[in-house]
Structure 1
Amino acid sequence: MTHAPYGFTTQQVHAGAEPDPVTGSRVTPVHLTAGFVFDDFEHARARFAGEDDGYVYTRMGNPTTAAVERRLAVLEGGTDAILLGTGQAAITVALLGILGAGDHVVAAADLYEGSRGLLLDNFARLGIAVDFAAGPGDWERLVRPTTRAFFAESVANPKNSVLDVPAVAAVAHRHGVPLVVDNTFATPYLLRPLEHGADVVVHSASKFLAGHGSALGGAVVTGTGFDWSGFAHLTDPANVLAGMSWVERHGPQRAYVEHTRSVVASRLGPAISPFNAFLVQQGLETLSLRVGRQSATAETVARWLQARPEVVGVDHAGLPGHPSHDVARRLLPRGTGAVLSVTLEGGRAAAQRFVDAVQLFTRMTHVGDVRSLVIHPASTTHAHRSEDERLAAGIWPGLVRLSIGLEEPEDLLGDLEQALVASREREGAAA
């Protein structure tokens, strides 16, 4: 189907998928196969030589996965997508498609802990250096001659800061490097970073894209706005291309995604199962309906929490007092997402009583579910950091992260109210 005339909600249902030509199935079939049959010797040779675009092995590509990739690329306003087994795999593959030993990356200080650990620990062992930008002026200041990428989240976990994508992209492009944006919290329904200057978008598809807490997945999405001819591994002759370079074979705009798919993702091997790909596709078909409602409910919850005496702070960019509120209003007019953090009077003890008291919220380390979730970062996701590091990042002892689901707002507020009452009760006091 053609894409240009249709709106987002139409595209999330139709883009990238056609009825099965053999059976007429309207829903994309789940191709549960490890490999694909070759007609003869020459057919196999041509597939491996890249002269025939058909499928070889599910680790390298699968019809179910490809249908989801096409849809996600359209929804993000991109041209290509690579679907992978997890969000962490997507970040790893996207960055290793750019970076190598001796290179340097500038990353936002507000990052998911798994991404931060990947950069500080795993990439350091590969000879890749990282510096963290804590403020708008840091991006320019931290650039080195060896800088090869910028990396940030569109809406950060868990403090809800919003990246000024056009401003950071402008700095990156002045230095000839791409901006990679993790768009998990915003989703393409709220923000399409490629349209604001980003060059690569990554997702934990397990979260809002799949949306039901039932599947793991990740994605890398690219457009055609960045010229990759300044990267030696894409311009040098490649053995797998019979001495041609990736830029010569695919052009300076598509060299990165083709290399990343064929060399990085295929060799590292974090393929998504076709069944999980199917679950991601099912989730995409209701993305705008879920995220729009969840984001609106989250803002209602944030405003209600802000007025509670048990609360000393609420992190949600939809609130006028949030540091990113002006950027959010400019870049995310449909809403600022379904995740927020609330800091309770009484510190860790109050947070523990609050978390233990919730009845409708699920205690779980996840976001983007249809069910509302709660977790205490300082004792779980950020527990390995020193207290000084947590405080510097704004991860206070009393901070609790909430991911808002599809429940009635009044029911969520009722659960939060009784949990807040419990949070201020002294240990040992009668309930």
Structure 2
Amino acid sequence: MSEKKQGFDTIQVHAGTAPDPATGARQVPIYQTTAYVFKDAKHAARLFNLEEVGYIYSRLTNPTISALQNRMAALEGGAGAVCCSSGHAAQIMALFPLMAPGKNIVASTRLYGGTLTQFTQTFKRFGWSATFVDFDDFDAVRAAIDENTQAIFCESLANPSGAIMDLDALAEIADTAGIPLIVDNTSATPYLCRPIEHGATLVVHSMTKFLTGNGTVTGGCVIDSGKFDWAASGKFPSLSEPEPAYHGLDFQDTFGPLAFTFHGIAVGLRDLGMTLNPQAAHYTLMGIETLSLRMQKHVQNAREIANWLEGDDRVEAVTYSGLPSSPYYDRMTRICPRGAGALFTVALKGGYDACVQTVSKLELFSHVANLGDTRSLIIHPASTTHSQLTPEDQVKAGAGPNILRLSIGIEDANDLIADLDQALS
């Protein structure tokens, strides 16, 4: 086949998934196995010493999961990818090779509530810390970086508000500081946004959401751009200095653009054990095959419903970045040219009580702690996903008491509007 660059729709169906060489099966088989037989003692030794690529044990590598990793790298335009058990696991996997006690990251205030809790509470147990900044204030981002800062972290489309980050500007700040920009691309998916093209070093996903698309499994992924020199600053010894567990192997020198990917598998999955199961990988591969089709419908519905809500007297404000009234509308055309996704919030004039009553009256919208489903979902963040935060921090995260988060599905938009209308009445 020619070397011409393939389109997204082709990549989402074919990347990483040639017919099974043993049986000719066209769909990727579920390799439900724990271990793999070695050819001989020398073969086993080469695999364990990272002298040869192959399968040892399914905590590390598995053919079904490898196919998904290859597809994710292709979709995001990365050099490699490491899949794991959840989006939260992906965040730890991304930071694990970069961090050490006393080190910190600079993170956006506009993050998923569970991420904020992970960064503020769980990080302490590792001796890590996070400094939270409004990422629309670039001077504040620069000022927050110190000699112990190892990375900048944000979401491309913020959860819950759907605000769009200026990835180009943030990448420039990260490059100047000599640190990686890590972007959670869960809400946008690679169909709407490709952070590596805007300068991101690493991209993380909760594949549980739009990538799988049907709320059946959990999974996470870290995609490496392959463009960061881990040895340049001396800040990342795990990737650029001899690794004792592999007889002094230097990941940067040995694997070059794939240094982070190989470390994620050979050290991260080996020691943290956040392994994705092959059946979940299979479901995710099948979901990705229709990603572009679903995202087009998600965006179309979200735009129509956000427009209707913005004109309703019972609504105080709508945060959808695809509305011309949004402060992020111009940024959307540059960062997310195919649309602003399906996630946004709505502020009700009736406050907390109106939010609770609306959620209880909805019939088509499901009240769940998830997003990115084919079904439309809703939640009141202040009493659920962001309830661990102080009232002040809830407001900073875009999850105040009068806020509802909507994840618009692929149903008929008129039916969804009718459901919202009766619930708001």
Q: Same fold (TM over 0.5)?
A: yes
Do the aligned residues in 1 keep the contact of 2:111 with 2:397 (CA within 8 Å)? no
Deviation at 1:387, TM superposition (A): 2.1
1:299 alignment partner, SS class: helix
390, 405, 410: which one pairs with 1:406? 410
Question: After superposition, where does 1:188-199 map in structure 2 within 5 Å?
Answer: 188-199=190-201
Do the aligned residues in 2 keep the contact of 1:207 with 1:213 (CA within 8 Å)? yes
Q: For structure 2, which runs of at least 5 residues remain unmatched after alignment?
A: none
Amino acid of the structure 2 residue aligned with 1:49: N
Do the aligned residues in 1 keep the contact of 2:110 with 2:398 (CA within 8 Å)? no
Change (3 A) 1:392 1:220: closer
Tell me, in whole angstroms, the C-alpha distance in 2 between the residues paired with 1:165 and 1:392. Answer: 20
Tell me, in whole angstroms, the C-alpha distance in 2 between the residues paired with 1:3 and 1:401. Answer: 43
Tell me, in whole angstroms, the C-alpha distance in 1 between the residues paired with 2:4 and 2:69. Answer: 17
Tell me, in whole angstroms, the C-alpha distance in 1 between the residues paired with 2:238 and 2:5. Answer: 38
Do the aligned residues in 1 keep the contact of 2:161 with 2:344 (CA within 8 Å)? yes
Partner of 1:9: 9
Change (3 A) 1:56 1:366: same
Partner of 1:276: 280
Q: Deviations over 1:82-139 (max 9, x none)?
A: 1111010001110112111121210111011121111111112222121112133221
2:386 alignment partner, SS class: coil
Q: Deviations over 1:368-393 (max 9, x none)?
A: 00100111111111112222322343
Partner of 2:138: 136
1:124 alignment partner, SS class: helix
Change (3 A) 1:213 1:415: same
Question: After superposition, where does 1:24-423 map in structure 2 within 5 Å?
Answer: 24-134=24-134, 135-229=137-231, 230=233, 231-251=236-256, 253-421=257-425
Tell me, in whole angstroms, the C-alpha distance in 2 between the residues paired with 1:9 and 1:91. Answer: 27
Tell me, in whole angstroms, the C-alpha distance in 1 between the residues paired with 2:74 and 2:259. Answer: 19
Do the aligned residues in 2 keep the contact of 1:390 with 1:396 (CA within 8 Å)? yes
- TM-score, structure 1 as length reference: 0.95
Tell me, in whole angstroms, the C-alpha distance in 2 between the residues paired with 1:325 and 1:141. Answer: 27
Amino acid of the structure 1 residue aligned with 2:225: G
- Name the stretch that deviates more: 237-246 or 160-169: 237-246
Q: CA RMSD in A?
A: 1.3
Do the aligned residues in 2 keep the contact of 1:3 with 1:74 (CA within 8 Å)? no
Do the aligned residues in 1 keep the contact of 2:213 with 2:374 (CA within 8 Å)? yes
2:399 alignment partner, SS class: coil
Change (3 A) 1:157 1:83: same
- Name the stretch that deviates more: 5-14 or 33-42: 33-42
Structure 1: 4+ residue segments shifted above 6 A? none
1:419 alignment partner, SS class: helix
Amino acid of the structure 2 residue aligned with 1:360: L
Q: Deviations over 1:391-410 (max 9, x none)?
A: 34332222111111110111
2:91 alignment partner, SS class: helix
Deviation at 1:3, TM superposition (A): 6.9
Partner of 2:20: 20
